[in-house]
Amino acid sequence: MDPLDLIDLDRYPLHDLGSATGQRVIEDARAQIAAMGAAELSGFVTPDGVAKLVADADALAERAHPSGGVGTAYLELPSDEWPKDHPRQTWMPYGVRAVGYDVIPFTSPLRQIYESPAVTAFIEAVLNRGTIYHYADPCGALNLAVMGEGDELQWHFDQTDFVVSLAIQDAADGGDFDVVPLIRTADNENYDDVARVLNGSHPDVLTLEMTPGTLLIFEGRHSIHRVSPITGDTLRHVGLLAYDTKPTTVSSELLREIRYGRVTPFAEPPVTWPAA
């Protein structure tokens, strides 16, 4: 299967980025990122493509490893140097299940989209940061995030400059992607405003639609964001496509153990699950 067959090439001409339409899409996406730290590209995947991704995600969901507990907005252990009511000392719950890259079959349409050179070239053009590379971590390069009843992701900032996600299936209720764009800068942590987000009193929380088929290119280092608590029997599926500006970046063994339940990756995706 050609992964470009899953993409609406009339709206997003990945095969001809130099065309007038291709250049307009790139410039519009860059303008979105400059204004709010995110480019939300709805309808990136066609309805037929979404149906294929949903069937694939439903089959992969049993391979997801659960992780959960409490964390901070800064994805770090709090230090006693901060007051107890400081944003860096505020614990919040999270719960998510992740299917690692090493167990996603080669035939998966999500994997084929991630590995498509045309998709990488498009994201690279939108980001305008120079050459980007597939994340070198064998588990973390591509994930399917699976969230169900009771799962959520706490308010947090990303520790990477950008994240690319592909919306596949909505939960029955909840699972909204909420964000306060560009709330901090490299020179100003803006703790007072962050505290207002954490206590639910900030007026500028936006909910991005993230309808199935949407590609989101998100610069989350300076924009605090969360996935709201999920209820209902329908799983929320999102593909997480990881890239880096350096070709050899990998996760720590501790992160692999927490997120995927293993340190050593599979040599190639298992045909059946549980893996023999």
Helices (H) and strands (E) in the chain, counts: 6, 15
Q: Which domains does the chain have, with CATH numbers?
A: 3-259 (2.60.120.620)
pLDDT number for residue 255: 86
Give me the residues of the chain with pLDDT under 70, please.
Answer: none
pLDDT number for residue 252: 87
pLDDT number for residue 254: 84
pLDDT number for residue 80: 82
- pLDDT per residue as tens digits for the range 14-29: 999 999 999 999 999 9
- pLDDT per residue as tens digits for the range 199-214: 999 999 999 989 999 9
Kindly calculate the radius of gyration of the chain based on its CA atoms and give it in whole angstroms.
Answer: 18
pLDDT number for residue 89: 94
pLDDT number for residue 79: 80
Tokens matching residue 180: 């306060």
> Would you give the end-to-end CA distance of the chain in angstroms?
28
Q: How many CB atoms lie within 10 A of CB 100?
A: 25
State the pTM of this model.
0.95
pLDDT number for residue 187: 96
